[in-house]
Amino acid sequence: MTTTADLVLHQPDWQKDAVCKDADPELFFPEPKSGHAAKALRICRNCPVKLDCGIWAIDTDQPAGVWGGMTANQRKRKTHELERLMAARRAA
Ligand code: SF4
């Protein structure tokens, strides 16, 4: 898992184009199950690096926060969907 120190020291290139770079970070890390991710998800909607951000969050197994226009639970569901599709493809 990537730590906050990793993020600060090794900031991925795409982060320079993130529309959230000046936003309140707390919007992107709401209390779990609070349902307060809507503001962050709206900010992500028009972000030019949404795909990079989402792939990075899944690749680095980010356990919390809104990344790539997805909550942690949405990322988990996407990961499971992809794993199911890949398993089906291997079995075919
Ligand atoms: S997709 Fe969302 S979290 Fe990712 S960089 Fe863009 S605004 Fe930030």
Q: What residues flank ligand 1, with Cβ below 6 Å? A: 18-20, 28, 43-44, 47, 49-50, 53, 66-69
DSSP 36-71: TTHHHHHHHHT-TTHHHHHHHHHHTT--SS-BTTB-
Counting ligand 1 atoms within 8 A of each CB, the residue from 21, 26, 43 with the most, and so the one to mutate, is: 43
pTM: predicted TM-score of the whole model, two decimal places: 0.81
How many domains are there within the chain?
Answer: 1
Residue 52 lies in domain: 4-91
Counting ligand 1 atoms within 8 A of each CB, the residue from 41, 44, 55 with the most, and so the one to mutate, is: 44
Instruction: Dig out the tokens for 87 from the structure.
Output: 């398993």
Kindly report, residue by residue over 78-90, the tens digit of the pLDDT.
Answer: 999 999 999 999 9
22 burial class (0-12, 13-18, 19+ CB within 10 angstroms)? exposed
Kindly report, residue by residue over 37-74, the tens digit of the pLDDT.
Answer: 999 999 999 999 999 999 999 999 999 999 999 999 99
Write the CA distances from 73 to 4, 35, 89, integer angstroms.
20, 12, 24
pLDDT of residue 28: 96
